[in-house]
């Protein structure tokens, strides 16, 4: 398994203001083994548990005039690679797979990290971050996070990853689930295997999912499609694609069953009321 350093010239996408939901109109390595599970087709049976009640939004910090969000809205901005900035109605800021290579220009309140490569974690998080959530533990036991802060709840579901010798690092990755404004948003991290029924149940129903689509460093294309079909999110946001070729390969496969929408800016505002009627892949600018 080679390092997945950022491609030369990768530039952090500029943050955009709030935008309305737009009109709706790609030889992989073997996967790390998942825990055994009965051979039945995964089927979600439980809604996303424990949603935090939404509250009125707080003013944006001085110096960054971010458009205010309604009480039922979440803003998702693609910073690059596997890093997103997620903002709640109270403007709690979350950065996913926070690392030393790609960081949002706004200081996050909460950061999540995964262990596969240095582009997915850092040992030097910026001062002032309130919660640093590592998706693994150094003793090999599964990470266990479940925190609530203002109008946000963050929890994780551990998964395995391949290690540098081609074996398995148990619990080296976490799928983080963000419960905000009556939405469940999942970030798959550096996922290396399909999910068991227990993992799917622990995740719960998901409205929006960020999925790595390189088809090589993470899960192969067939496996990723299987995971996304099992999760059944209404919105899928590709990440970790590295190139237009791998992104286009993923989109060509997904186009068989999903609508495809390309956003003009890296920011998207979503709410329960404005989720698309049909499952949709939304491409945000960046790699």
Report how far residue 126's alpha carbon sits from residue 113's, in angstroms, rounded to the nearest whole number: 13
Query: What confidence tier does 111 reach under pLDDT thresholds 50, 70, 90?
Result: very high
CB contact at 8 A, 177 and 198: no
As a whole number, the mean pLDDT across the chain is 83
pLDDT at 35: 52
pLDDT at 200: 98
pLDDT at 32: 59
Residue with tokens 């960046």: 286
Query: What confidence tier does 163 reach under pLDDT thresholds 50, 70, 90?
Result: confident
| Mean pLDDT computed over 146-161 | 97
pLDDT at 8: 32
- Residue 287 reports pLDDT greater than 80: no
- Percent of the chain beyond pLDDT 90? 73
Considering the domain boundaries, does residue 137 fall inside one? yes
Considering the domain boundaries, does residue 34 fall inside one? no
pLDDT at 33: 59
Residues 36-39: contacts with CB within 8 Å, 24+ apart?
36/196, 37/196, 37/197, 37/198, 38/197
pLDDT at 37: 43
Report how far residue 184's alpha carbon sits from residue 206's, in angstroms, rounded to the nearest whole number: 5
| Higher per-residue pLDDT: 32 or 94 | 94
pLDDT at 117: 87
pLDDT at 286: 82
pLDDT at 27: 36
- Residue 59 reports pLDDT greater than 80: no
- Percent of the chain beyond pLDDT 70? 77
Considering the domain boundaries, does residue 22 fall inside one? no
Considering the domain boundaries, does residue 114 fall inside one? yes
Considering the domain boundaries, does residue 52 fall inside one? no
Report how far residue 142's alpha carbon sits from residue 197's, in angstroms, rounded to the nearest whole number: 17
| Nearest by Cα to 279 from 244, 239, 246, 230 | 230
CB contact at 8 A, 249 and 222: no
Residue 124: burial class (beta carbons within 10 Å; 0-12, 13-18, 19+): exposed
CATH number, domain with residue 134: 3.60.15.10
| Mean pLDDT computed over 98-121 | 94
pLDDT at 281: 98
Considering the domain boundaries, does residue 178 fall inside one? yes
Cα angle: 246, vertex 114, 125; to 5 degrees: 115
C-alpha to C-alpha distances, 213 to 138, 218, 243, nearest whole angstrom: 27, 8, 10
pLDDT digits (tens, 9 = 90+) for 217-261: 999 999 999 999 999 999 999 999 999 999 999 999 999 999 999
pLDDT at 283: 98
pLDDT at 238: 98
- Residue 166 reports pLDDT greater than 90: no
| Higher per-residue pLDDT: 195 or 52 | 195
The tally of domains found in the chain comes to 1
Considering the domain boundaries, does residue 24 fall inside one? no
The whole domain housing 225 covers 73-283
| Nearest by Cα to 231 from 281, 282, 186, 182 | 186
pLDDT digits (tens, 9 = 90+) for 10-56: 333 333 333 334 333 333 344 555 554 433 333 333 344 433 333 33
Considering the domain boundaries, does residue 28 fall inside one? no
The pTM score is 0.80
Length of the chain: 287
């Amino acid at each position: 398994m080679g390092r997945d350093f950022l491609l030369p010239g990768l530039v952090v996408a500029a943050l955009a203001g709030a935008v309305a939901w737009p009109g709706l109109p790609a030889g992989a390595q073997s996967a790390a083994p998942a825990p055994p599970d009965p051979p039945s087709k995964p089927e979600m049976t439980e809604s996303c548990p424990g949603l935090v009640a939404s509250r009125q939004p707080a003013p944006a910090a001085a110096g960054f005039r971010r458009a205010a969000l309604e009480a039922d809205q979440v803003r998702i901005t693609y910073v690059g690679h596997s890093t997103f900035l997620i903002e709640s109605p109270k403007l709690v800021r979350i950065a996913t797979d926070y690392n030393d290579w790609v960081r949002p220009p706004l200081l996050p309140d909460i950061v999540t990290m995964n262990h596969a490569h240095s582009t997915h974690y850092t040992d030097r998080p910026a001062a002032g971050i309130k919660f640093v959530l590592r998706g693994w533990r150094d003793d090999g036991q599964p990470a266990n996070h479940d925190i609530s802060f203002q109008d946000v709840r963050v929890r994780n579901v551990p998964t395995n990853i391949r290690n540098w010798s081609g074996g398995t690092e148990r619990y080296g990755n976490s799928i983080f689930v963000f419960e905000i404004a009556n939405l469940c948003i999942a970030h798959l991290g550096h996922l290396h295997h399909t999910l068991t029924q227990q993992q799917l149940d622990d995740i719960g129903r998901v409205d929006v999912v960020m999925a790595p689509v390189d088809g090589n460093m993470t899960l192969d294309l067939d496996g990723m499609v299987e995971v996304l079909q099992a999760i059944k999110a209404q919105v899928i946001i590709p990440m970790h694609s590295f190139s237009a070729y791998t992104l286009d390969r993923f989109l060509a496969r997904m186009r068989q069953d999903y609508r495809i929408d390309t956003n003009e800016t890296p920011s998207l505002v979503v709410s329960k009321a404005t989720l698309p009627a049909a499952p949709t892949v939304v491409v945000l600018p960046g790699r």
